[in-house]
């Protein structure tokens, strides 16, 4: 599909895109470190939010600051920063999430030259009234601090418009996810990956336009689609920065019908309901959307959510994709697996390191898993 | 028998800290009380080492510390076995080994004391790490008991007003939680007294640690690792105050009599991070052989670090700040400043960092701290990569060589 090309181009080299965008528009680019970064505020300020996921090469400069037992996201992101690959950034926003990102923020603030540094110290609990109030206060603080760092005030109207844009993007993504679920194979996993990857770095207005075209095309294709009956796979886990995980899944007869990845549906879905207090509304989405394992919304919330979503997607199997040394996910794995097993849904755990996906071993494991389903 | 008598070295005997026995008795008594709670009708709460224990003491709930238990498991060299067991349950071996050992121990009642008493509730303070949050979620599912989380926003560069209000409100929520689980009201006058005792205990513990400003130091960080248990587990009780009063006496007497922890102390070092529990004796002997004493550490002083923020006359109000601004909940640059302050205070010649694979919030950032120490004070750092409870990643011969090389540098 022709409409996909821009997404693949951006996914292949997001940094080049951000640099060109900056040159073209004269706007500011702000790096974000996790899906809890309040992107709506960045957009409202007229800046480009750029999700940093690292992983573009070998680690050397970051090794001076980080032990080898930190995850590849944290090490890769710092490597990019110290290697001046992120010199187009005007600032970086660090939401509080896991222990590793928490320390990365300090190390980054002390060593990286990527403009201003903003810590958004979110609550870790998401299910109490006081945490909700604190979330609102943190969002309000982020709004004024971000504005201050950019030398402007972020107006209500701009926030309203940004919310509107994000709601449209998220609604379209929801449609795309539904199409993929109802008609597996109608869009390749690699395409969805390119779209989500672009969603995190592309001018959000342009992204919405391009996405709408793709979704129209996929809807049309879905009406007449007939293909082999693939094994329905749900992906669960953290950051997936590796496009080549989809190839092996599809080559072994599977198709991804849903995910809860932090670089997937976790960041892409969930509308902001409009209401009087815009800041509270933004905060509320972060409280209520699919929860990250570094946050707490109840002792079984993530398991129940995963089971519900895997069932809704009629998943025949769940593949867990975790980065090595990722604590929050590793703590949840045994109970998530048990809950799925109790539902009769088989699982496969894949611990990703940089080269995992392409080394053939992943392909072999996928094949064995598909045969089992 | 007679062989043993012959080997008793009077010099060594003189050097032994006499309070150790009292401490062991107190801890034994404490664990017996905790393990028989079911019979005595007392409630048991599991709580994190940085958690708000004073309200538990005030409510007559027995606080139990899985982390202290983890240390005991490590010291009795049972860590590797339990960690392997946790891996068999599906947990990654790269996780915090306190958590791994505890999670596995619960299912088999293993470890040196046959497992911890079953909790009636769990109290988790995330001021030390995000690991305890996940760990306590696991245990809340396993034991099916209520979980309270004290969420203390991380202080990268500041403790914001928003955070202060949020934590303050949670202190009230905590009291309501305890009243519900215990089925009785909290006596605020009693809580105030407990707060006072807690601060008194912290002051005394700091005074004990400060005796190592003397040259030679009457005790070492290895002794501190041992005597720490009380300020962690029983702060807020008279027992702690009495014990540390006695220990402080003993240290002062040692100073007066010139009894040092390390014979002929020549080099003074600062330890960073948790102890390597299964190797404390080996490390202590190793450094002592070089006439080096680890006179202070960043770990044991963490339990009195919030004294400046606590208010004896307004304990409940000040808890929010006191529990948020502890050593591990602050930015790496602030930690580096505190390390430099300790270097000056205890007049140390070098830094020994345990890069602890188990504990990311403590270990990530150490390289920068070492660099800052080098820049500001020109002191060298030895980094030992290990894991506090699990011996599998400890390479003794390599570390042995590196300590020798480091000491050569110090000796110049
Ligand atoms: S992958 Fe895990 S450890 Fe790494 S940044 Fe994400 S949550 Fe943290
Ligand atoms: S050792 Fe570190 S990760 Fe483990 S419980 Fe303690 S502070 Fe948390």
Complete DSSP assignment for A124-135: SB-SSHHHHHHH
Rounded to the nearest whole angstrom, what is the distance from the C-alpha of residue A81 to the centroid of ligand 2?
Answer: 28
> For chain B, what is the radius of gyration of the CA atoms?
21
Per-residue pLDDT of chain B (412 residues; tens, 9 = 90+): 444 555 778 888 899 999 999 999 999 999 999 999 999 999 999 999 999 999 999 999 999 999 999 999 999 999 999 999 999 999 999 999 999 999 999 999 889 999 999 999 999 999 999 999 999 999 999 999 999 999 999 999 999 999 999 999 999 999 999 999 999 999 999 999 999 999 999 999 999 999 999 999 999 999 999 999 999 999 999 999 999 999 999 999 999 999 999 999 999 999 999 999 999 999 999 999 999 999 999 999 998 888 999 999 999 999 999 999 999 999 999 999 999 999 999 999 999 999 999 999 999 999 999 999 999 999 999 999 999 999 998 999 999 999 999 999 999 8
Of the candidates B291, B290, B279, the residue with the CA atom closest to the CA atom of residue B399: B279
Q: Which residues of B touch A296 (CB under 8 A)?
A: 133, 137, 149, 151
Q: Is A71 in the pocket of ligand 1 (CB under 6 A)?
A: yes
- Note which residues in 267-296 of chain A have CB less than 8 A from chain B: 293-294, 296
Residues of A whose CB is below 8 A from B368:
65, 106-107, 110-111
Ligand 1: residue of A94, A294, A321 to mutate (most ligand atoms within 8 A of CB) is: A294
Our CA-based measurement puts residue B202 at a distance from the nearest CA of chain A, in whole angstroms, of 27
Give the CB-side neighbour count of residue A34, counting CA atoms within 13 A.
Answer: 26
Domain contains B265: yes
In a domain, B5, yes or no: no
A190 class by beta-carbon count within 10 Å (0-12 exposed, 13-18 middle, 19+ buried): middle
Q: Is residue B226 in some structural domain?
A: yes
Nearest partner of B209 among B247, B262, B240, judged by Cα: B247
Report yes or no: B224 and B80 within 8 Å, Cβ to Cβ. no
Q: What is the DSSP letter of B118?
A: P
Are A107 and B365 in contact (CB < 8 Å)?
yes
Is the Cβ atom of A238 under 6 angstroms away from ligand 1?
yes
Report the distance separating Cα B327 and Cα B54, nearest Å. 19
Better-scored residue on pLDDT, A183 or A56: A183
Name the strands in the sheet holding B62-64, side by side, starting at the edge strand that comes first in the sequence.
B62-64, B44-47, B121-125, B147-150
CB < 8 Å to B364, chain A: 66-67, 70, 99-100, 103-104, 107
**Residue in this structure with the two tokens 């689980």, named with its chain if needed:** B181
Residue B6 forms part of a structural domain: no
Q: Which residues of B109-134 are buried (b: 16+ CB within 10 A; e: fewer)?
A: ebbebebbbebbbbbbbbbbbbbbbb
**Arithmetic mean of pLDDT over chain A:** 93
User: Taking a C-beta distance cutoff of 8 angstroms, is the pair A325, A289 a contact?
Assistant: no
Tell me the two tokens of residue B26.
Answer: 């107190």
Structure tokens at B88: 């068999």
What would the mean pLDDT of A17-28 be, rounded to a whole number? Answer: 98
Put simply, whether A332 touches B (Cβ < 8 Å) is yes
Ligand 1, closest atom to CA A239?
A: 1
Atom of ligand 1 nearest to the CA of A325: 3
In a domain, B4, yes or no: no
Record: contact B368-A111, CB cut-off 8 A: yes
A326 lines ligand 1 (CB under 6 A): yes
- Nearest atom in ligand 2 to the alpha carbon of residue B97 is 4
Pocket test for ligand 2, best of B48, B67, B225 (most atoms within 8 A of CB): B67
Torsion of CA B115, B121, B125, B130, to 10 degrees: 70
| Dmax (CA) of chain B | 67
Q: In this predicted structure, what is the pLDDT of residue A358?
A: 61
DSSP state string for A266-335: HHH-------S-HHHHHHHHHHHSSPPTTSBS-SSHHHHHHHHHHHHTT-SEEEEEEETT-HHHHHHHHH
The span from the CA of A54 to the CA of A275, in Å, is 36
Q: Give the SS3 label for residue B37.
A: helix
Chain A to chain B Cβ contacts (< 8 Å): 143
Nearest-angstrom CA–CA distance, B412 and B306: 38
By the CB < 8 Å criterion, does A228 face chain B? Answer: no
| A323 pocket-lining for ligand 1 (C-beta < 6 Å) | yes
Q: Which of the four pLDDT bands, split at 50, 70 and 90, describes residue A270?
A: confident
pLDDT at B6: 59
Q: What are phi and psi of A153, to 5 degrees?
A: -105, 140
In angstroms, the separation between the Cα of residue B168 and the nearest Cα of chain A is: 10
Query: Is the model's pLDDT at A355 over the cut of 70?
Result: no
> From the candidates A299, A302, A332, A334, which should be mutated to test the interface with B, based on the most B CB atoms within 10 A?
A299
Residue A94 exposed, middle or buried by CB count within 10 Å (0-12, 13-18, 19+): buried
d(CA A266, CA A177): 12
Cα B55 to averaged position of ligand 1 atoms, centre (Å): 34
- The alpha carbon of A352 is separated from its chain's Cα centroid by a whole number of angstroms, namely 16
How far is Cα A121 from Cα B156, in angstroms, rounded to an integer? 9
Which pLDDT tens digit goes with each residue over A65-121?
999 999 999 999 999 999 999 999 999 999 999 999 999 999 999 999 999 999 999
Residue B1 located in a structural domain: no
Structure tokens at A175: 């449609």
Number of domains in chain B: 1
**DSSP sequence for B206-242:** HHHHHGGGSSS-SS-HHHHHHHTHHHHHSTTSHHHHH
Question: In this structure, are residues A53 and A263 in contact, taking their beta carbons and an 8 Å threshold?
Answer: yes
Nearest to residue B264, comparing CAs of B325, B324, B217?
B217
Position B1 scores a pLDDT of 43
Joined together, the tokens standing for residue A29 give 């680019």
Whether B2 is in a domain gets the answer: no
Q: Give the ligand 1 atom nearest the CA of A323.
A: 1
User: What is the number of the ligand closest to the CA of A261?
Assistant: 1
Name which of B140, B163, B364 is nearest A100 (Cβ-Cβ): B364
Q: What percent of chain A is modeled with pLDDT above 90? A: 82
Residue with tokens 């008609």: A183
- CB–CB of B95 and A327 under 8 A? yes
> Which residue ranges have their beta carbon within 6 Å of ligand 2?
B 67, 96, 98, 128-129, 131-132, 274, 358-359, 361-362
Residues A308, A336: Cα–Cα separation, whole Å: 12
Contact A66, A78 (CB under 8 A): yes
Residue whose CA is closest, atom 1 of ligand 1? A326
Which of B48, B91, B149, B162 to mutate to test binding with chain A, by most A CBs within 10 Å of its CB? B162
A130 part of contact set with chain B, CB < 8 Å:
yes
Cβ-Cβ contacts under 8 Å, B367 against chain A = 64-67
Residue B362 lies in a domain: yes
Tell me the two tokens of residue A192: 């969805």
Ligand 2 centre to CA of B320 (Å) is: 21
Q: Is A73 in the pocket of ligand 1 (CB under 6 A)?
A: yes
CA of A199 to the centre of ligand 1 (A): 20
- pLDDT of B82: 96
pLDDT for the residue numbered B68: 93
**A103: distance to nearest CA of chain B, Å?**
6
Tokens 């600051």 correspond to: A65
**Could you tell me the two tokens for A222?**
């879905």
Q: Is the pLDDT of residue A238 over 90?
A: no
Ligand 1 pocket test, pick from A323, A331, A354 with the greatest ligand atom count within 8 Å of Cβ, gives A323
> CA-CA distances (angstroms) from residue A70 to A63, B359, B369?
10, 11, 17
The best mutation among A59, A97, A103, A320 to test binding of ligand 1, ranked by most ligand atoms within 8 Å of the C-beta, falls on A97
Tell me the sheet residues that pair with B267: B292
* Shortest-distance Cα residue to atom 2 of ligand 2: B359
Atom 3 (ligand 1) nearest CA: A326
Q: Which atom of ligand 2 is nearest to the CA of B67?
A: 5
Q: Which residue of A has its CA nearest to B134?
A: A331
> What is the residue range of B321's domain?
13-411
Query: Residue B376 and residue B370: Cα distance in Å, rounded?
Result: 10
Residues in chain B: 412
**A342 and B CB contact within 8 Å:** no
How many residues are there in chain A?
373
Q: Whole-model pTM?
A: 0.96
Dihedral sign computed on CA atoms, order A161, A166, A169, A172 = negative
Phi-psi group of A115: left, alpha or beta (phi > 0 → left; psi -120 to 50 → alpha; rest → beta) = left
């Amino acid at each position: 599909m022709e409409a996909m090309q821009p997404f693949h181009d951006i996914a292949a080299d997001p940094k080049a895109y951000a640099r060109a965008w900056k040159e073209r528009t004269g706007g500011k680019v702000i790096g974000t470190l996790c899906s809890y970064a309040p992107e709506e505020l960045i957009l409202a300020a007229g800046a480009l939010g750029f999700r940093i996921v690292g992983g573009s090469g070998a680690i050397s400069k970051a090794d001076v600051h980080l032990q080898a037992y930190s995850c590849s996201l944290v090490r890769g992101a710092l490597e990019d920063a110290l290697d001046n690959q992120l010199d187009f950034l005007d600032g970086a926003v660090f939401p509080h999430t896991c222990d590793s990102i928490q320390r990365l923020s300090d190390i980054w603030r002390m060593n990286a030259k990527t403009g201003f540094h903003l810590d958004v110290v979110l609550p870790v609990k998401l299910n109490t009234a006081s945490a909700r109030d604190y979330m609102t206060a943190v969002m309000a603080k982020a709004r004024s601090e971000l504005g201050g760092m950019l030398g402007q005030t972020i107006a209500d109207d701009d926030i309203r418009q940004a919310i509107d844009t994000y709601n449209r993007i998220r609604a379209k993504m929801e449609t795309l996810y539904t199409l993929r679920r109802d008609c597996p194979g109608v869009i390749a996993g690699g395409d969805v990956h390119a779209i989500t990857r672009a969603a995190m770095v592309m001018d959000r207005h342009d992204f919405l336009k391009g996405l709408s075209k793709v979704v129209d095309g996929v809807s049309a294709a879905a009406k007449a689609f007939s293909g082999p009956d693939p094994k329905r796979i749900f992906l669960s886990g953290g950051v997936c920065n590796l496009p080549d995980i989809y190839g092996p899944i599809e080559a072994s007869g599977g198709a991804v019908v849903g995910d809860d990845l932090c670089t997937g549906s976790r960041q892409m879905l969930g509308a902001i309901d409009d209401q009087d207090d815009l800041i509270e509304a933004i905060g509320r989405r972060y409280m209520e959307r699919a929860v990250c394992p570094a946050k707490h919304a109840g002792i079984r919330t993530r398991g129940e959510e995963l089971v519900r979503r895997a069932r809704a997607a009629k998943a025949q199997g769940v593949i867990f994709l975790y980065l090595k040394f990722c604590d929050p996910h590793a703590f949840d794995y045994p109970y998530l697996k048990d809950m799925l097993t109790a539902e009769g849904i088989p699982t496969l755990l894949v611990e990703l390191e940089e080269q995992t996906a392409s080394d053939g071993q992943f392909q072999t494991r996928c094949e064995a898993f598909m045969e089992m389903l | 028998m007679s062989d043993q008598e012959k080997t008793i070295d009077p010099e060594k005997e003189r050097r032994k800290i006499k309070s150790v026995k009292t401490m062991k008795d107190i801890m034994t008594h404490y664990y017996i009380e905790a393990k028989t709670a079911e019979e005595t009708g007392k409630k048991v709460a599991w709580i994190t080492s940085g958690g708000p224990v004073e309200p538990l003491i005030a409510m007559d709930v027995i606080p139990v510390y899985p982390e202290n238990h983890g240390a005991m498991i490590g010291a009795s060299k049972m860590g590797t076995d339990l960690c392997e067991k946790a891996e068999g349950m599906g947990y990654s071996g790269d996780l915090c080994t306190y958590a791994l050992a505890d999670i596995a121990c619960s299912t088999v009642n293993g470890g040196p004391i046959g497992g911890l008493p079953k909790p009636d509730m769990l109290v988790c303070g995330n001021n030390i790490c995000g690991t305890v949050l996940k760990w306590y979620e696991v245990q809340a599912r396993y034991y099916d008991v209520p979980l309270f989380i004290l969420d203390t926003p991380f202080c990268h560069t500041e403790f914001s007003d928003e955070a202060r209000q949020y934590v303050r409100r949670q202190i009230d929520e905590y009291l309501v939680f305890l009243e519900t689980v215990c089925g009785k009201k909290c006596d605020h006058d009693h809580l105030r007294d407990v707060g006072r005792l807690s601060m008194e205990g912290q002051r005394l513990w700091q005074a004990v640690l400060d005796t190592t400003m003397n040259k030679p130091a009457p005790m070492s960080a290895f002794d501190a690792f041992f005597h720490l248990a009380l300020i962690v587990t029983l702060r807020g009780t008279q027992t702690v105050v009495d014990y540390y009063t006695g220990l402080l006496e003993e240290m002062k007497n040692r100073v007066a009599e010139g009894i040092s922890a390390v014979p002929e102390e020549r080099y003074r070092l600062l330890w960073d991070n948790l102890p390597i529990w299964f190797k404390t004796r080996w490390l202590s002997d190793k450094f002592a052989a070089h006439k080096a004493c680890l006179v202070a550490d960043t770990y044991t002083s963490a339990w009195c670090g919030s004294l400046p923020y606590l208010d004896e006359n307004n304990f409940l109000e000040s808890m929010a700040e006191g529990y948020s601004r502890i050593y591990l909940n602050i930015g790496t640059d602030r930690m580096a400043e505190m390390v430099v302050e300790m270097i000056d205070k205890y007049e140390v010649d070098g830094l020994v960092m345990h890069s602890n694979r188990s504990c990311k919030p403590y270990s990530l950032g150490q390289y920068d701290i070492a660099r800052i120490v080098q820049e500001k004070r020109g002191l060298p750092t030895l980094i030992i990569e290990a894991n506090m409870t699990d011996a599998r990643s400890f390479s003794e011969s390599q570390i042995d060589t590196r300590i020798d090389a480091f000491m050569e540098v110090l000796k110049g």
